[in-house]
Structure 1
Amino acid sequence: MISERPASASRPYIAAALAVAMSVGCALPAYAGPQTLRDGLFGDRPAPGRRATPPVARYVSQEGDAFILDRSQTRAFMKFEGSPEVWVLRPHPAPRGDVIYKNDLGEPMLRATRLGGLTLFTSQRPGGSPAAFAGGGNALRLAPLSPQVLLERLAQASAKATRAARRLIPFEADASPASSAVVADAAIVTAEAVVRLSRDPDGRNLLGRLRKVKLVEGKKPAVALHGSEMRITVSPDDGLAGRPSSDRIMQAAGAH
């Protein structure tokens, strides 16, 4: 149920950012529920012979990919070291009591066994690579942002996308105080998608037409191309799960 916003919060403020040389801040992330996802899937006790891993933990794959997996909330989140994007994962039951975590395109990213094992799936290793527990980590959550910080994040996203496209790509947003955090995160994720598009032959064709990124509020996350404008829709009430992933943005651009 959506709580009523004060009158001052109901008036969206418009933030427009042009390319500005700024360092990109780290992504933050989302909301906790009364029961952890790990408890809901595996129960509150480890399997015999296994030590329980913390609900927020760092893992390293056999190939050296390090990431944080946060299963302390009503949704699961993961973030690779060195990347600003936080991935929203949806659990799906698998044989032998395993759980497969998929992204918003339905692609598997992790497989967790009932005994505590973890397998990471990447484009380089689509067959999966074992990942080992490597210590604790910090929960991935979104934090409220002021209008000024939102403007700075939009400028950072614009600067990153502009460097990748080698041409100015302004980022604009229709946002309210309630949506500022997810809009800022969506901007950074969109810039990450633009960088990835710049490395793809089909993606470079799109970037030749792209002139602006617009972020707006809506009922559910979406991405669409309207002529030379890429429109990203975010759902503020869904937190990190209320914006599309870079994979989904690339798919909408026809390059994934």
Structure 2
Amino acid sequence: MASERPAHAYLPFFVAALAAAGSLACASPALAGPEVLREGLFGARPSPGRSTSPPVARYVSQDGDGFVLDRSQPRAFLKFDDSPEVWALHPQPAPRGDVIYKNDLGEPMLRATRLGGLTIFTPERPGGSPAALSGGGPTLRLPSMGPQALLERLAQASAKATRAARRLIPFEADASPASSAVVADAAMVAAEAVVRMSRRPDARGLLAKLSKVKLVEGRKPSAVLHGSEMRITVAPAEGLAGRPSSDKIMMAAGSR
């Protein structure tokens, strides 16, 4: 039993999601110098005529999409109101002193001007939509996670993926106490990727290739499809940035 193992031992977890099967039957590194960038763009001592933006705030786009942007940490994070996923962003300098924030596929998600203006890029608006500050927001961080909570999160992720695929997709994880939180978050992101794939016109073919999700620790986050097993590698030391995004998982499954 897990309780009999020392704290430093590796804790293997396996979730078959039998409850999910039952429910199915009943229902159909930032760029060098991020602090310099932040101080130059949104610092506490702006030059005359330059506005400041709060380090953590909620914004609403012209199309009504709400999201929280957290720039209070070494890495910037973004979370849309209608999604559980937190996106880890990579800042890159742009013309006129702007900064473009990209996802782990190198695709732009946000553009910040030197005056504090924001433009959000979405699949529906690839050309961008301006966003306005609407108030404060919560800091985007990983919660602490014990073995039992991790098991529950794996079961939830498996159930969510199983409902979307309309067949059992078990989640298996090799996690240590140091990696439990990021493993749990990666599992939910993987389930979100399966849900997104299920909405595509070619969903049947895509999901037919996936029979299991396996989460492991490694040096850098990645997602690779080994046969019918989606292997997701997490890097615990990187926190929320230490797991692949749903976009990267979908690409590994061949859906992008």
- Give the Cα–Cα distance (whole angstroms) in 2 for the partners of residues 84 and 198 of structure 1: 17
1:68 equivalent to 2:65? Answer no
2-side partners of 1:88 and 1:171: how far apart?
A: 23
Q: Helix, strand or coil: the match of 1:123?
A: coil
Q: Which amino acid aligns with 2:154?
A: L
Q: For residues 220 and 9 of structure 1, do their structure 2 counterparts lie closer, same or farther at Cα, with a shift above 3 Å needed?
A: farther
CA contact (8 A) 2:120 2:129 kept: yes
The aligned counterpart of 2:10 is 12
Mapped partners of 1:98, 1:63: distance in 2 = 22
Q: Note the alpha carbon deviations across 1:196-240, whole angstroms, 9 max, x for none.
A: 111123443121131111000011101111111111000111111
2:220 equivalent to 1:214: no
- Distance 1:190-1:168 versus aligned 2 partners, 3 A rule: same
CA contact (8 A) 2:42 2:116 kept: no
Distance 1:90 1:237, change over 3 A: same
Q: Letter of the aligned partner of 1:124 in structure 2?
A: E
1:24-73 deviation line (CA, Å, top 9, x unaligned): xxxxxxxxxx9597336543324534542210000000000000000000
> Which consecutive aligned stretches of 4+ in structure 1 deviate over 4 angstroms post-superposition?
34-37
Aligned equivalent of 1:109: 109
Deviations 1:76-109 (A, max 9, x none): 0000002110000000000000000000000000
In structure 1, stretches of 5+ residues that fail to align are 1-6, 22-33
Greater displacement, 221-230 / 105-114: 221-230
Uncovered stretches (5+) of structure 2, i.e. residues with no partner: 21-33
* One-letter amino acid of the structure 1 residue matched with residue 246 of structure 2: S
1:123 & 1:9 partners in 2: Cα distance? 43
User: 2-side partners of 1:49 and 1:231: how far apart?
Assistant: 50
**Other-structure match for 2:252:** 252
Fraction of identical pairs, as percent: 74
TM-score, with length taken from structure 2: 0.88
What is the Cα-based RMSD across aligned positions, in Å?
A: 1.8
Structure 1 counterpart of 2:166: 166
Deviation of 1:14 (Å): 1.1
Aligned length: 238
- Paired residues of 1:202 and 1:254 also in contact (CA < 8 A): no
